[in-house]
Amino acid sequence: MRLEDQLDRLAELGLPFAAGRTVDELLYSAPREAYERKPFDVVLFALGCAVEAEPWERWFCDRAWHFDTECVRGQGSYTAIARQLCRIARRPDALSGLRDHVDLDEEEAWIEYTADGRRVNWPIEVRDDWADLLVVSYLIDELEHGDWRFHVRHNGQAMTLFFLDDAAAGRLNELAGEQTIARFPG
């Protein structure tokens, strides 16, 4: 299936290209044959990534994020995760007053934020540079609403998260011909 046709189908399901993104930018990261060999496989991964050229931090899709769970480097790691989750949920202000403390040497960490008028503080289990997925699930719980949920496509130590309604997630699985995504933590 042509790459452009795959992108059209994904846009119909709620995973359109972000404003200003182009097929040429996708082709910078992988050749056309990689995208077209197994429809929806590589393109679903790519939608969660940023363009691999300057200026940085330009995402291919505003409803997807490729989350490498081995990402904790220190202070700010969990606020960065929370901001990405807010971005793909299209709720940039849902978690305000975000701050974290991460001390890998002392194995001490926490994240704090305000959601719906409540101040929340979660302790974080430190396991080297691996994200605490229980805390990530707490952040996700704050952001899901109505029929809109976080769905996950696993990729080894990483995953691509998509924010879709349940009906679109079901149609995506039918379209891709397999259980492509599941509800987080899935």
> What CA–CA distance (Å, rounded) separates 33 from 3?
9
Q: What is the pLDDT along the chain (186 residues), one digit of tens a residue?
A: 999 999 999 999 999 999 999 999 999 989 999 999 989 999 999 999 999 988 988 999 999 999 999 999 999 999 999 999 999 999 999 999 999 999 999 999 999 999 999 999 999 999 999 999 999 999 999 999 999 999 999 888 899 999 999 999 999 988 887 667 888 875
Q: In whole angstroms, what is the distance from residue 150 CA to residue 142 CA?
A: 11
- The DSSP code sequence of 65-78 is EEEES----STTHH
Q: What is the pLDDT of residue 186?
A: 55
For residue 137, what is the DSSP state?
A: H
Distance of CA 181 to the CA centre of its chain: 12
Residue 164's pLDDT is: 96
Closest CA to 139 of 115, 107, 163, 169: 115
In degrees and rounded to multiples of 5, residue 93 shows phi and psi of -105, 10
Domain boundaries, the chain: 3-67+146-183, 71-143
CA dihedral (73, 156, 153, 40) positive or negative: positive
pLDDT tens digits along 9-35: 999 999 999 999 999 999 998 999 999
pLDDT value at residue 10:
97
The C-alpha angle with vertex 167 and arms to 158 and 47, in degrees rounded to 5, equals 35
Note the pTM of the prediction, 2 decimals.
Answer: 0.93
Residue 20 pLDDT: 95
Distance CA(91)–CA(39), nearest Å, equals 30
